[in-house]
Amino acid sequence: MSHQGRGNDGHIALLLLSAVGMTISLPAMVLALVLIPLARSRRLAMFVLAVGGLGVTLLLWSRITGQMEAALAAVRRAGGFWEDPGRALEAAWPHVRAWWTMALGLAPTVACGAELLRPRSVEELRERDERRAERLRNRRERRARRAAGIGRPERRPAGFELGRHVEGDRLLPTSRGRVAMPLARLEKTVLVIGAPGSGKTETVLRLAHGVATSSDWPVFVIDAKGDRNTQQRFGRLMQQARRRPCLFPDRPYDGWRGSPREIAGRLVQLIDWADEGGGAYYRDLSVNLVRAACAAPQGPPRSSCELLARLDKTALLDLWAGHDRAQAIAGFKPEHVDACRQRYAAFFDATEGQLDGDWALEDTDAGYLLLNELLYGEETSKLGRFLVEEFKQYLAARNRQGRQVLLIIDEFSAIADGERVARMIEVVRSHGAAVVLAPQAYEGMGGEQASARILNAAHTVLLHAMPDPEPIVKAAGTRLVVEQSLQHQAGVSTDLGSSRQQHQLKADPNDVRRLREGMCYVLGSGRAQKVQVASVSNWPAAHDAGPRDRPGTDPSDLRPEDPIRL
Ligand SMILES: Nc1ncnc2c1ncn2[C@@H]1O[C@H](COP(=O)(O)OP(=O)(O)O)[C@@H](O)[C@H]1O
Ligand SMILES: [Mg+2]
C-alpha cells in the first residue's frame, strides 16, 4: 500500500493548522481537541456545526481583527513586548480574550480539519477502499438494472424490529442502531440455529410476534420440545396482536379435514417401517390398507375411532362390497391387517383423541402445536410428521385465499428427518409459505446431505452460540483484513513493521462460541451482522398495540433492502 507520502503531508498540514489556530484562538483549539472524536463518529452533525461556526467567525472577522489591532496598540502603549512582557500582556489581555472568545466558533472546523488530515491506519485505508469499491459496484448494478427495465427495490420495506445492531455488515435494514426484519426476507426460508439455551425460542417468538403485529399472515408454530410456558407466552403475544390463537393439545386438532387422498397421505406418514427387505413389504401392505380405508365409497373416515373400525378385514370387505377392490382386500392376511391396526391404535391411544378436535389451520390466524415428548413419548415424531404433511396439504388445497403464511418449526430435528423437511421447504415455498426452522446443530438437521440442502435453501441464518459453527459461518464468506507484524532483534523491537492482507471469516467461529444468550449473527448474501435480539418479554407496553396502530419498526427508517442470497 503506498499511502506514506499522503501521511507526511497530513502531519505538516496538521502542524501548520495548529499554529495558526492557536494564534487565532487558543480556547477554540482546546475545544477542538475535545470535538475530534465526535468529528469521527458524528460526521454530518460536526460538518454542519463547522459550517455554522465558520460563518459566525467570518461575520465577526472585522471585530476580531479590530481587537487584534487594539491589542497591538495596547502593547505599544505599554512600552513594547520585549521591554516588559508582563505589563504588555496585562495591557493586551482584555483584547486577546475578546477575540479568542469571538473565534470560538472555529473549534468544530478545526476538529473536522484535524480528522480529515489525520494520517490513516492501513486498516482504515483498506476499509475506505472497500467502501469506494462497493459504492462503484452498487452504481454499476443500479445502472444495469435500470437498463434492463427492472424497477428499484422498494424503499420502505414492510417489517418489524428484531433487535439492536452490535457490529458487522448492515445486512438487515438498520437505523439508529435498531435492526429490522423485513417481511420480504422472511418469505424465504430462515434458519435459527444454536445450542440449547442460546436463545432460539426467544428469537422465534420475536419473529412470530413481529409478523403478527406487522402483517395479516397467519402464524403457526410446531414445537417439538417446548413447554406449556412458552406456549402460553405465544398465546398472550398473539392476543396482544389481536389474533385468536389456538393452542394444541389444550384445544384438540381436527386431523380429518380434506379429501380421502389427503387423509390417507397424512396417515401413511405415521408408518415408519423399514423401506427395504421384509419391512418394505409390510410397509406397502399398510399403505394399501390405509388407502382402502380412506378411499371407501362411503367417504373417508372423519375420526380416529372410525379409522380404527375400518382397519379390519371384515369391515373393509363390507365397505368395498360390490367393487373390484374387494378382491384385493380378500387377499390380505387377517394377522397383517391386525398388525397394521395395532400400530394406528397405539398412536391414537397416545394422542388420546387430540386429533379428533374442532379446529384446523384454515380456521385460525395463529396456532401453536406443542408436541412435547413427555406427552407423546415415542409417538412424538410420528405426530410431527403428520402435522408437517397436514401443513403441506393445507397450503396446497385448503388455504383458500392463497394467503402468505408463516410456519415456525422449533427443534424440528426432534420430529422430522432432514430429508423430509428439506423436501417440505421446497414444496411449501412454491405455495407462498415462509418457513422458519430452529434446529440445535448443523448435524441435527438430519445428516450431512440434508443439512447442506436445508442450509442452501435458507436465505437467512440467525446463528446463536453453538460449539461447532464452522460449516455455517463459512456460508457468510470472508473479508480482507490487514495483519500487521513488528520486527525484532534478539527480542528487542526494531520499530520496523510490515503488513499484509488476509482473508478472515466474517463471523469469527470463536466469537460465535462465546455469544451470550439472545445475541446472534445474522448471515446472508455473504454478509454477517451481529445483532442483540430484543426479547419479547422486554417489549414495552407502548408496542403492544395492534398492527394498524403500530407496524413494528417504522419502515421509513429502514434502508431499502437489496435482493440478497446466502
Ligand atoms: N433475546 C434475549 N434477550 C434476553 N434474554 C434472552 C434472550 N434470548 C434468550 N434469553 C435467555 O436465555 C434463556 C434461554 O433461551 P431460549 O430461547 O429458551 O433458548 P433455546 O431455545 O435456544 O434453548 C431464556 O430463558 C432467557 O432467559
Ligand atoms: Mg428452545
Per-residue pLDDT tens listing for the chain (566 residues):
444 445 566 677 777 777 777 777 888 889 998 999 998 888 899 999 999 999 999 999 999 999 999 999 999 988 888 888 888 889 999 999 999 999 899 899 989 988 888 888 777 887 788 789 889 988 998 899 899 988 766 666 688 999 999 998 888 999 889 999 999 899 888 999 999 999 999 999 999 999 999 999 999 999 988 788 999 999 999 999 999 999 999 999 999 999 999 999 999 988 775 555 556 777 888 899 999 999 999 999 999 999 999 999 999 999 999 888 888 889 888 888 998 899 899 999 988 889 999 999 999 999 999 987 767 777 888 888 899 899 999 998 888 777 899 999 998 777 767 777 788 888 887 887 899 999 887 777 777 788 888 888 888 999 999 998 988 888 777 776 667 777 777 777 777 777 777 777 778 899 999 999 999 999 988 889 999 999 887 554 444 433 333 333 444 444 433 333 33
Regarding the beta carbon of 196 and ligand 1, being less than 6 Å apart is answered yes
Regarding the beta carbon of 194 and ligand 1, being less than 6 Å apart is answered yes
C-alpha cell at 523: 448471515
pLDDT at site 277? 54
Q: Which residues lie at CB < 5 A from ion ligand 2? A: 200-201
| Closest CA to ligand 1's atom 24 | 199
Q: Where are the beta strands (DSSP E) in 378-476?
A: 405-410, 433-438, 460-463
Regarding the beta carbon of 230 and ligand 1, being less than 6 Å apart is answered no
Gap between the terminal Cα atoms of the chain: 32
The H or E element containing residue 482 is strand 478-489
Mutate to test the pocket of ligand 1, among 202, 411, 535 (most ligand atoms within 8 A of CB): 202
Which of 518, 504, 521 shows the shortest CA–CA distance to 469? 521
Separation of CA 252 and ligand 2 centre (Å): 23
Separation of CA 518 and ligand 1 centre (Å): 6
Regarding the beta carbon of 199 and ligand 1, being less than 6 Å apart is answered yes
Separation of CA 245 and ligand 2 centre (Å): 20
Regarding the beta carbon of 200 and ligand 1, being less than 6 Å apart is answered yes
Q: Which residues, 6+ apart, have CB-to-CB distance to 80 below 8 Å?
A: 88
Going across the sheet that includes 174-175, the strands are 174-175, 178-182, 159-168, 527-533, 519-524, 460-463, 190-193, 433-438, 405-410, 219-223, 366-370, 246-248
Nearest ligand, measured from the Cα of 196: 1
Regarding the beta carbon of 226 and ligand 1, being less than 6 Å apart is answered no
Regarding the beta carbon of 518 and ligand 1, being less than 6 Å apart is answered yes
Separation of CA 165 and ligand 1 centre (Å): 18
pLDDT at site 558? 43
Regarding the beta carbon of 233 and ligand 1, being less than 6 Å apart is answered no
pLDDT at site 41? 86
Mutate to test the pocket of ligand 1, among 233, 517, 520, 530 (most ligand atoms within 8 A of CB): 517
pLDDT at site 416? 63
Regarding the beta carbon of 539 and ligand 1, being less than 6 Å apart is answered no
Cβ atoms of residues 258 and 392 within 8 Å: no
pLDDT at site 542? 40
pLDDT at site 504? 74
Regarding the beta carbon of 198 and ligand 1, being less than 6 Å apart is answered yes
How is domain 159-254+357-557 classified at the CATH fold level? Rossmann fold (3.40.50)
What's CA 202's distance to the chain center, in Å?
13
Regarding the beta carbon of 533 and ligand 1, being less than 6 Å apart is answered yes
Regarding the beta carbon of 447 and ligand 1, being less than 6 Å apart is answered no
pLDDT at site 59? 94
Separation of CA 196 and ligand 1 centre (Å): 9
Nearest ligand, measured from the Cα of 464: 1
pLDDT at site 413? 75
| Closest CA to ligand 1's atom 2 | 518
Task: Give dist(CA 405, CA 127) in Å, integer.
Answer: 41
Regarding the beta carbon of 227 and ligand 1, being less than 6 Å apart is answered no
